[in-house]
Amino acid sequence: MWIYFPVFVYLHKRTSNMEKLYDLYIKKLKTVTTDFVRYLYEKINWNSQLIVIMGARGVGKTTMVLQHILMTDTKKDSLYIAADNTYFAANTLYDTATKFAQQGGKILYIDEIHKYQNWSKEVKMMYDYLPDLKVVVTGSSILELIKGTDADLSRRAIRYTLEGLSFREYLNFSLGLDIPTYTLDDIIAGKVELPNEVKYPIAHFKEYLSKGYFPFFKQDDYYQRLENVINQTMEVDIPAYAKMNISTARKLKQLLYVVSRSVPFKPNFAEIGRAISTDRGTVADYMVYMEKSKLIRQLNYAPDGMELVQKTDKIYLGNPCFIYALADENPEIGNIRETFFYCSLSVNNKVTSSPAADFLVGGHTFEVGGKAKKQKQIKGIEDAFIVKDDIENAYLNIIPLWTFGFNY
């Protein structure tokens, strides 16, 4: 009898711990509503066996997967777990998934997957040995998720990236509206229509530019949270991925400081390297890490068919809110306008640098500016448009800047 008693206690403890995971999942589910759902929700093939959802901290990944449980009425067959739960100090993800599947579980949602060491190997085992179990994983360290899916999960996982709120989503979320998306062709044709609840779009647009990209804009500690997003990416995610020491990670922060005070600018990696005491090759690597982490966006020249590698024309910060967060004083409005335009259109379109104006998108040329912007830069160019801030309506080839926030 004494031989079996410890085994009984061990099994009872494991069952009890699993029940605690389920209790935490139910409590988490009760904190979520389905009043507002992100643009990516409808694009995901939720029937896939393995889904990986990436995105910066705070963009709404956790909320979206919990909404999927509520909207599909699959609470009983699902389990949501956070990979950084202390439960996994003594249990593996794969064993947990196996036990869940044996008990009739159908869909396993694993949040913050990048915080679990060697996560991709265990998720691969789930895919290979638990074929009836659907797995959805999310993570904020985009670099780690790209590395894991490119290596162990190649050809297995379907990968999605959730961006921050568009201006359309910001209005829907803050005002309780249901404004649809518009294609780029609809936008340049002046077909964007606003409901009666939005009488002054420019006032809302100014608010969005300063704090509307992240869904936590309603929180009192918004800028503290925004700073935390930046710091966690710079101090934790990138150094962990690139195996940097403390002094190297400090150079990364110096680089972001230099970039934030220069954007948009034409990159000179040798000059930047001298400013932070490193070589141009290392600067180029840092830029790649920062771009994949959504801290910056590199705007490339349009390919001419001869070059194998695209060259970078300008570098921008990842979204307009980062400009406000990192600025020592009033940020430069031209920078904000161009960043918004690039950020808004790059989700659904290929955006490149225009040799004559600011941007080239889908064969259309765009010059972005303020209300007084003239036609000089696009004179003689077919299918070219002036994108103006501080105007409400489109006319001829002049398009309001805010309307491009309705593309996703």
pLDDT digits (tens, 9 = 90+) for 247-298: 888 888 888 888 888 778 788 889 889 989 999 999 999 999 999 999 999 9
Distance CA(372)–CA(339), nearest Å, equals 19
For range 159-183, the mean pLDDT: 97
State residue 43 phi and psi, 5-degree precision. Answer: -90, -15
pLDDT tens per residue across span 29-60: 999 999 999 999 999 999 999 999 999 999 99
- CATH code for the structural domain at 5-161: 3.40.50.300
Give, to the nearest 10 degrees, the angle between helix 119-129 and helix 142-150. Answer: 50
Residue pair 94/117 in contact (Cβ under 8 Å)? The answer is no
Report domain extents, the chain. Answer: 5-161, 168-406
Beta strand extents in 193-256 (DSSP E only): none
Distance from chain centroid for Cα 270: 30
| pLDDT confidence tier of residue 3, bands split at 50, 70 and 90 | very low
- Strands 78-82, 107-111: pairing is parallel
Question: 329 versus 12: which is more confidently predicted?
Answer: 329
Residue 11 has pLDDT above 50, yes or no: no
Six-digit token string for 45: 């093939």
Q: Peptide bond before 264: cis, by omega within 30 degrees of 0?
A: yes
Residue 334 has pLDDT above 50, yes or no: yes
Expressed in angstroms, the distance from the first to the final Cα of the chain is 64
Percent of the chain clearing pLDDT 70 (strictly above): 94
pLDDT tens per residue across span 57-85: 999 999 999 999 999 999 999 999 999 99
Cβ neighbours of 211 (radius 10 Å): 19
Residue with tokens 């007084």: 372
| pLDDT confidence tier of residue 311, bands split at 50, 70 and 90 | confident
Beta strand extents in 174-311 (DSSP E only): 296-300
* Cα dihedral across residues 208, 173, 342, 287: positive or negative: positive
DSSP letter for each residue of 340-370: HHHHHHTTTS-EEE-SSSSEEETTEEEEEE-
Burial (0-12, 13-18, 19+ Cβ within 10 Å), 55 = buried
| pLDDT confidence tier of residue 12, bands split at 50, 70 and 90 | very low
The DSSP element (H or E) to which 334 belongs, if any, is helix 333-345
Q: What pLDDT is recorded for position 14?
A: 52
Nearest of 384, 379, 380, 381 to residue 397 by alpha carbon:
384
Residue with tokens 């002094």: 247
